[in-house]
């Protein structure tokens, strides 16, 4: 078993770190809010530190799941950052959804210290993290990935290396682009059913068995019909992710007209006070329109 540090104990990181502990690894955690780290230790055991550098000291692997580009830089760099505490030959695995630009920047900074850096964003939501069935898409050196994969397996249903540094983040962008269009399509279908005085549940029971079926339909249609939007991945975070997608699309000369439109629809949801609603709340916008 490995000595592992986990940095960031949000709705995803908290259970992910727990799965590492349950798998038999020696886990030390760090969280910006110390009380959260203390609660994790009370629940799972292990240890916690008040600085990323101290948490990472002596670890074979350091995993992170924080908020955005700046948060990731903060836990990695500087005299209290994880890189300063990591030994040559150790591996940093980042599960945050961030830009490919910051990923490559940190990959280079890590390499200067003899540290490997694997970008490994995740999909599957809070339930996937709690049940240990996340999809993990990775970029980085093959040798580092091969060492990290058995550790990641503690909370993954599938884990794949897609390519060099940044490829994992680019793949996560594909994931978010696909979700945006799917949720908007499902929202419009359910909204249409409501306006046409159809039984939404009966409609989905039929169409979900054909070409219209999707994970979003299977897992979100009932709560969308019931006007319940508390499933962990918030609209605010989706807009952060879609912003990354749209910025990167300009860099690689990709056209994302539907993604750009749905991003604006999520902006409308924020104006309705739904920044913390989950992403299936796009239907709230349609209902608000009458």
pLDDT score at 148? 98
pLDDT at 262: 98
Among 51, 4, 11, smallest CA distance to 31 is for 51
DSSP assigned state of 32 = S
What is the fold of 3-164?
Answer: Rossmann fold (3.40.50)
- The ranges assigned to domains in the chain are 3-164, 170-288
Q: In the block, which residue shows the tokens 């990641």?
A: 152
Predicted local confidence at residue 284, as pLDDT: 98
Taking the model in full, what pTM does it have?
A: 0.93
Residue with tokens 């600085």: 51
Which of 219, 145, 210, 227 shows the shortest CA–CA distance to 183? Answer: 219
β-strand pairing of 91-94 with 122-123: unpaired
DSSP labels, 55-97: HHTT-SEEEE--SSHHHHHHHHSSTTSHHHHPPTT-EEEE-S-
Q: Please report the pLDDT score of residue 231 as a whole number.
A: 80
Q: Are 31 and 48 contacting, i.e. CB atoms less than 8 angstroms apart?
A: yes
Spatial contact of 93 and 64, defined as CB atoms under 8 Å apart: yes
Q: Which pLDDT does position 233 carry in this prediction?
A: 87
pLDDT of residue 290: 77
Q: Give me the active site residues, please.
A: 172
Instruction: For domain 170-288, say whether CATH 1.10.1040.10 is its number.
Output: yes
The answer to whether 262 touches 242, Cβ cutoff 8 Å, is yes
The per-residue pLDDT string of the chain (290 residues; one tens digit each, 9 = 90 and over) reads 899 999 999 999 999 999 999 999 999 999 999 999 999 999 999 999 999 999 999 999 999 999 999 999 999 999 999 999 999 999 999 999 999 999 999 999 999 999 999 999 999 989 999 999 999 999 999 999 999 999 999 999 999 999 999 999 999 999 999 999 999 999 999 999 999 999 999 999 999 999 999 999 999 999 999 999 998 689 999 999 999 999 999 999 999 999 999 999 999 999 999 999 999 999 999 999 97
């Amino acid at each position: 078993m490995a000595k592992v540090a986990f940095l960031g104990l949000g709705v995803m990181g908290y259970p992910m770190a727990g799965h590492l502990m349950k798998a038999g690894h020696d886990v030390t955690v760090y969280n910006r809010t110390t009380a959260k780290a203390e609660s994790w230790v009370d629940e799972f055991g292990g240890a916690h530190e008040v600085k990323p550098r101290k948490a990472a000291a002596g670890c074979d692997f350091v995993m992170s799941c924080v908020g955005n580009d700046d948060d990731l830089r903060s836990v990695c760099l500087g005299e209290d950052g994880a890189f300063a505490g990591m030994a040559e030959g150790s591996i940093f695995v980042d599960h945050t959804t961030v830009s490919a630009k910051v990923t490559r920047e940190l990959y280079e900074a890590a390499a200067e210290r003899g540290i490997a850096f694997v970008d490994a964003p995740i999909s599957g939501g809070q339930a996937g993290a709690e049940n240990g069935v996340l999809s993990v898409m990775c970029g980085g050196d093959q040798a580092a990935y091969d060492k990290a994969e058995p550790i990641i397996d503690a909370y993954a249903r599938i884990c794949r290396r897609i390519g060099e540094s940044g490829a994992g983040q680019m793949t996560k962008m594909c994931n978010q682009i696909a979700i945006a269009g799917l949720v908007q399509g499902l929202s419009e279908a359910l909204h249409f059913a409501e306006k046409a005085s159809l039984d939404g549940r009966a409609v989905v029971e039929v169409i979900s068995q054909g070409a219209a079926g999707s994970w979003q339909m299977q897992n979100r249609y009932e709560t969308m019909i019931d006007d319940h939007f508390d499933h962990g991945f918030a609209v605010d975070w989706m807009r952060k992710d879609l912003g990354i997608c749209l910025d990167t699309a300009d860099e690689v000369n990709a056209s994302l007209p539907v993604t750009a439109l749905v991003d604006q629809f999520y902006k409308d949801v924020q104006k309705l006070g739904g920044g913390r609603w989950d992403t299936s709340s796009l239907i709230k916008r349609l209902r608000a329109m009458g």
